Amino acid sequence: MQKVAIITGAGRGIGKAIAEHLVADNYLVAVADIDGVTAKYVSDRINALTPDSARYYVLDISEREAVFNLVDDVVSDFGRLDVFVNNAGIAYIDSIVDSQPDKVNRLLDVNLKGTFWGIQAAASQFIKQGDGGTIVNAASLASVEGSALQGAYSASKFAIRGLGQSAAKELAQYGITVNAYDPGIVLTPLRDYIDQKTAQIKKTTPDLQRKSVIDEIAFGRPASVDEIADLVLFLVSPKAKYITGQSILIDGGMRFH
């Protein structure tokens, strides 16, 4: 029987790669995103190569009811759920002093609460099914060390790590694992925004800003989205069945612990 995975934020970037890799690994995937155009594009592209293996769903993960409806819809479309990847996230770059309340609230609503609702909805379904499940959350290098101008973003990612540890302890009794991936630098639209806004505040250029960050990487280059997807594939595979509550840095050698 084919396994079924939901990937939020799968309309582009890391989430799109995760969806494509899961399909290559014989999963059926729910491409979930706030942007219906990109979600449909990714789903169509997958189905063109591997017919009937993807469907797209449009939702804002900050809305708890929408996340629960997503799980219900996917179970009604595909019959069950095995994997939930809480990948969707947004960034907000500003100094602590200048951070705008509406932006901070939105970031926490999406990154932290959206992940909370995802864990809640997925775990409820897994418990109902009675045969385990796998939850994987997008944390970040920003979940182990705060960076200047990333206060709200870092706070949300530290929180996702804590939330994942609590969830892992509560859900192990049901055979559910909860882990996170912590990318360093991946060149996606989210990273473009970070470099542009950081450069603007630091009065440098986006290219120089990006170079200064890439210079910190031992491998001297950013991660590809495929490299992040490979880690997620491992975390959802039976090979990772004894790993839970962990948050795995995948940064090409930026921080060591």
Q: Which of 27, 57, 92, 153 is catalytic?
A: 153
Q: Does 145 bind ligand NAD (CB under 6 A)?
A: no
- The gap between the terminal CA atoms of the chain, to the nearest Å, is 40
Write phi, then psi, for 176 (nearest 5 degrees): -105, 130
Map the footprint of ligand NAD across residues 196-225, applying CB under 6 A: none
**Taking the alpha carbons of 165, 174, 80, 29 in that order, is the dihedral positive or negative?**
positive
> Can you say how many angstroms the Cα of residue 239 is from the centroid of all Cα atoms in its chain?
20
Residue 153 · residue 141 · CB < 8 Å: no
The Cα 227–Cα 211 span in angstroms is 20
Place of tokens 């960050």: 213
Q: Does 90 bind ligand NAD (CB under 6 A)?
A: yes
Size, binding site for ligand NAD by CB under 6 A: 29
Catalytic (active site) residue 153: yes
103 binds ligand NAD (CB under 6 A): no
- Residue 33 within binding range of ligand NAD, rule CB under 6 A: yes
152 to 191, contacts with ligand NAD by CB under 6 A?
Answer: 183, 185-186, 188-191
Per DSSP, the three-state class of 28 is strand
The reply to whether 43 sits near ligand NAD by the rule CB under 6 A is no
Binding ligand NAD by CB under 6 A: which of 88, 93, 112, 123? 88
Considering beta carbons, is residue 127 or 217 the nearer one to ligand NAD?
217
Q: Does 89 engage in binding with ligand NAD (CB under 6 A)?
A: yes
Which alpha helices (DSSP H) does the chain contain, by range?
A: 13-24, 36-49, 64-78, 101-107, 114-129, 151-171, 189-202, 206-214, 225-236
Which parts of 48-77 interact with ligand NAD (CB under 6 A)?
60-62
Active site residues: 153
Give the interface with ligand NAD as residue ranges (CB under 6 A).
Answer: 8-9, 11-15, 33-35, 38, 60-62, 87-90, 110, 114, 138, 140, 183, 185-186, 188-191
